């Protein structure tokens, strides 16, 4: 069994953030004077990001057990190595010239997947954390369905980037 | 301005990993109005990395990752008599064994990392990386790093009282910034152990204007790489130091450390009696050494400051005539 500390609320920098909408990346402009919105978006953990993947019985900290922006999820039968792959960083296509928008996580867990039970969704929505952790009884194949690769964020400094980015 | 301190460890702490502590930091420390301190406890070995990114900071609302009081190798009661090397018994320690990891990725300014021990046992991985971005006022201080070979790449900031040595191949540290960076290396000891064949330079800069002062740089074929960008003073090396002034150049490596070989896992990078590093350093800003011992008089070169042995007097019995008291 492996245990995960997962973000359920996007951490957002004060300079605005980007989200992936139906037509591609969309900027939610909370600060008109913001710069490098793409980079800010790439540098913070988002919903579904695994903060830590741990072996069974991990001694979670007091803040980890109660924080409203995290949840602890236990997955019986999942090998630790496979779990730890969820904390890998996005890898640059050209390691000698990495973009500024490399994301902190290459993968996220699709915790909104329709296959997940209602009780799990209720646990995710319960900010009071009545239960310290939730045990998700899925097999490896089902876990891999939930494992999603994060979409690369285009570097606005690169020619050919989005036309709606000044500079 | 206040300070928010959180504990990190696996025995009833706030957070069980350094990364969780970092992720919980406010997105904007400036509007939050507090500095943030993460104190690590020696409950068990740390095995994860820390990616600092996504927070807005400034000089007065900054981030510090350190060992809690009493938890660092620096706090060990035997710190002056124990071997100066990575030792899990001496305090908080981080042991990284997976590939593809950089221990500390610094994505913003004003980060202080201190009083930690780190060992990296995989090949050619990095302790530090800023991904080519200039960072302001980032400090690594009073740390011990045992790496396979490459400590990493700094683009700016200060490294003070750091002992870093390799365990497999030539030790090296690179500074790099496409501009004028201000990487300062002060009172650091960087060593390729004597049982490892040196292959090249021990420090190198691809660009910028880095500085090395009071640094002990041993186990190399040349001090710095071919770009010759370093400046500084009062450094020591067994090779010719081709920059700066007041250096201890071309000294005998074997005369410098208590035990410079890692072959028997008994390495000890305290300065030995007669070392060319003793009393040949300049007076700099941080007046304590890696063991938190005060530096006084003429400073030593490197992370360790030798101190004079206490004067011992013969025992005195009541009624004994002492020559100087003879009537």
Give mean pLDDT, residues A135-153. Answer: 92
Partners of B14 on chain A (C-beta within 8 Å) are 61-64
Higher pLDDT, B154 or A118: A118
| Res. A19: pLDDT tops 60 | no
For chain B, the first-to-last Cα distance in angstroms comes to: 67
Q: Which of A126-130, B94-98, B204-208, B233-237 has the lowest mean pLDDT?
A: B94-98
**CA of A50: which chain B residue's CA is closest?**
B20
Q: Which residue has the tokens 């400590």?
A: B151
B→A interface, C-beta within 8 Å: 6-17, 19-20, 23-24, 27-28, 31, 48, 51, 53-56, 98, 100, 107, 131, 133
Higher pLDDT, B320 or A82: A82
Partners of A12 on chain B (C-beta within 8 Å) are 27
Distance, in angstroms, between A163 CA and closest chain B CA?
24
**CA of B8: which chain A residue's CA is closest?**
A61
Cβ neighbours around A161 below 10 Å, total: 16
B20, B98, B133: residue with CB nearest A61: B20
Cβ–Cβ below 8 Å for B20 and A64: yes
Partners of B100 on chain A (C-beta within 8 Å) are 88
The band of B70, judged by pLDDT with boundaries at 50, 70 and 90, is very high
- Name B236's Cβ contacts closer than 8 Å, sequence gap at least 6: B215, B216, B217, B218, B247, B248, B249, B251, B256, B276, B277, B280, B301, B302
pLDDT at B131: 57
Q: Which of A86-90, A163-167, B152-156 has the lowest mean pLDDT?
A: A163-167
Cβ–Cβ below 8 Å for B13 and A14: no
Q: What is the ipTM score, two decimals?
A: 0.84
**CA of A59: which chain B residue's CA is closest?**
B10
pLDDT at B178: 57
- Name B53's Cβ contacts closer than 8 Å, sequence gap at least 6: A43, A44, A104, B105, B107, B108
* pLDDT tens for each residue of B7-22: 999 999 999 999 999 9
- CA B303 vs. chain centroid, Å, equals 7
Give the span between the Cα atoms of B161 and B26, in whole angstroms.
Answer: 30
| Res. A10: pLDDT tops 60 | yes
Q: Which of A20-34, A64-78, B29-43, B158-172 has the lowest mean pLDDT?
A: A20-34
Distance, in angstroms, between A22 CA and closest chain B CA?
25
| Res. A159: pLDDT tops 60 | no
Q: Which of A69-83, A100-114, B275-289 has the lowest mean pLDDT?
A: A100-114
Cβ–Cβ below 8 Å for B131 and A44: no
Cβ–Cβ below 8 Å for A89 and B51: yes
b/e for A4-15, b at 16 or more Cβ within 10 A?
A: bbbbbeebbbbb
Residue B117, burial from CB neighbour count under 10 angstroms (0-12, 13-18, 19+) = buried
Give the span between the Cα atoms of B286 and B36, in whole angstroms.
Answer: 22
- Measuring CA to CA, which residue among B37, B51, B53, B43 is closest to residue B4? B37
Q: What pTM, to 2 d.p., does this model score?
A: 0.88
Give the span between the Cα atoms of A40 and A31, in whole angstroms.
Answer: 12
Higher pLDDT, B154 or B205: B205
Residue B180, burial from CB neighbour count under 10 angstroms (0-12, 13-18, 19+) = exposed
pLDDT at B132: 54
**CA of B102: which chain A residue's CA is closest?**
A89
**Most A CBs within 10 Å: which of B14, B27, B29, B100, as the mutation test of the A interface?**
B27
pLDDT at B259: 98
Task: State the Cα torsion A64-A72-A78-A151 to the nearest 10°.
Answer: -90
Higher pLDDT, B132 or B160: B160
* pLDDT tens for each residue of A48-79: 999 999 999 999 999 999 999 999 999 998 99
pLDDT at B49: 84
* pLDDT tens for each residue of A24-49: 655 565 553 344 556 666 778 999 99
| Res. B316: pLDDT tops 80 | no
pLDDT at A50: 96
Give mean pLDDT, residues B44-60. Answer: 87
Give the span between the Cα atoms of B278 and B299, in whole angstroms.
Answer: 7
pLDDT at B324: 45
Question: Could you tell me if B157 and B135 are in contact, meaning their C-beta atoms sit under 8 angstroms apart?
Answer: yes
Cβ–Cβ below 8 Å for B8 and A61: yes
The band of B180, judged by pLDDT with boundaries at 50, 70 and 90, is low
pLDDT at A80: 92
Question: What percentage of chain B carries pLDDT values higher than 90?
Answer: 67
Give the span between the Cα atoms of B177 and B182, in whole angstroms.
Answer: 9
Partners of B19 on chain A (C-beta within 8 Å) are 51-52, 87
Give me the half-sphere count of Cα atoms (radius 13 Å) on the Cβ side of residue B60: 6
Check the CA dihedral B163-B164-B165-B170 and report its sign. negative
φ/ψ region of B149 (left if φ > 0, alpha if ψ in -120 to 50, else beta) reads: alpha
A7, A14, A61: residue with CB nearest B28: A14
Cβ neighbours around A36 below 10 Å, total: 18
Average pLDDT, chain A: 82
| Res. A153: pLDDT tops 90 | no
**What element of type H or E holds A123?**
helix A118-125
Distance, in angstroms, between A76 CA and closest chain B CA?
21
B10, B51, B53: residue with CB nearest A59: B10
| Res. B265: pLDDT tops 90 | yes
Distance, in angstroms, between A77 CA and closest chain B CA?
22
């Amino acid at each position: 069994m492996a245990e995960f500390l997962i973000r359920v609320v996007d951490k957002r920098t004060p300079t605005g953030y980007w989200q992936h909408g139906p037509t591609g990346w969309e900027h939610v402009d909370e600060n008109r004077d913001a710069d490098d919105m793409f980079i800010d978006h790439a540098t913070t953990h988002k919903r579904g990001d695994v903060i830590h993947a741990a072996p069974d019985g991990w001694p979670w900290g007091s803040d980890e057990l109660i924080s409203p922006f995290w949840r602890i999820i236990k997955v019986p039968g999942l090998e630790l190595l496979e779990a730890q792959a969820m904390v890998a960083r996005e890898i640059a296509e050209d390691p000698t010239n990495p973009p500024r928008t490399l994301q902190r996580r290459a993968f996220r867990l699709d915790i909104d997947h329709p296959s997940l039970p209602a009780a799990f969704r209720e646990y995710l929505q319960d900010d009071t954390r009545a239960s310290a952790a939730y045990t998700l009884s899925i097999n490896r194949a089902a876990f891999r369905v939930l494992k999603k690769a994060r979409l690369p964020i285009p570097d606005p400094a690169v020619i050919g980037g989005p036309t709606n980015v000044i500079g | 301005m206040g300070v928010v301190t959180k504990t990190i460890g696996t025995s009833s702490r706030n957070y069980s990993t350094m990364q969780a502590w970092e992720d919980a930091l406010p997105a904007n420390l400036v509007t939050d109005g507090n500095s943030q301190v993460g104190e690590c406890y020696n409950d068990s070995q740390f095995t994860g990395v820390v990616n600092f990114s996504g927070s807005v900071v400034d000089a007065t609302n900054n981030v510090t990752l350190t060992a809690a009081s009493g938890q660092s190798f620096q706090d060990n009661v035997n710190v002056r008599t124990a071997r100066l090397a990575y030792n899990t018994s001496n305090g908080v320690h981080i042991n990284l064994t997976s590939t593809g990891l950089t221990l500390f990725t610094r994505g913003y300014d004003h980060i202080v990392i201190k009083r930690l021990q780190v060992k990296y046992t995989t090949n050619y991985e990095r302790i530090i990386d800023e991904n080519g971005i200039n960072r302001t006022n980032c400090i690594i201080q009073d740390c011990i790093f045992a790496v396979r070979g490459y400590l990493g790449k700094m683009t700016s900031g200060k490294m003070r009282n750091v002992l870093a040595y390799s365990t497999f191949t030539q030790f090296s540290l690179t500074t790099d910034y496409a501009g004028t960076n201000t990487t300062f290396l002060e009172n650091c000891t960087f060593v390729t152990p004597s049982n490892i064949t040196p292959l090249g330079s021990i420090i190198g800069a691809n660009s910028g204007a880095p500085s090395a002062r009071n640094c002990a740089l041993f186990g190399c074929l040349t001090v710095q790489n071919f770009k010759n960008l370093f400046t500084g003073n009062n450094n020591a090396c067994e090779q010719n130091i081709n920059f700066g002034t007041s250096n201890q150049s071309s000294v005998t490596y074997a005369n410098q450390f208590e035990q410079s070989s890692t072959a028997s896992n008994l390495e000890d990078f305290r300065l030995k009696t007669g070392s060319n590093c003793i009393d040949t350093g300049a007076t700099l800003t941080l007046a304590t050494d890696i063991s938190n011992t005060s530096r006084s008089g003429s400073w030593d070169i490197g992370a360790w400051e030798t101190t004079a042995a206490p004067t011992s007097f013969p025992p005195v019995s009541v009624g004994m005539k002492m020559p100087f008291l003879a009537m």
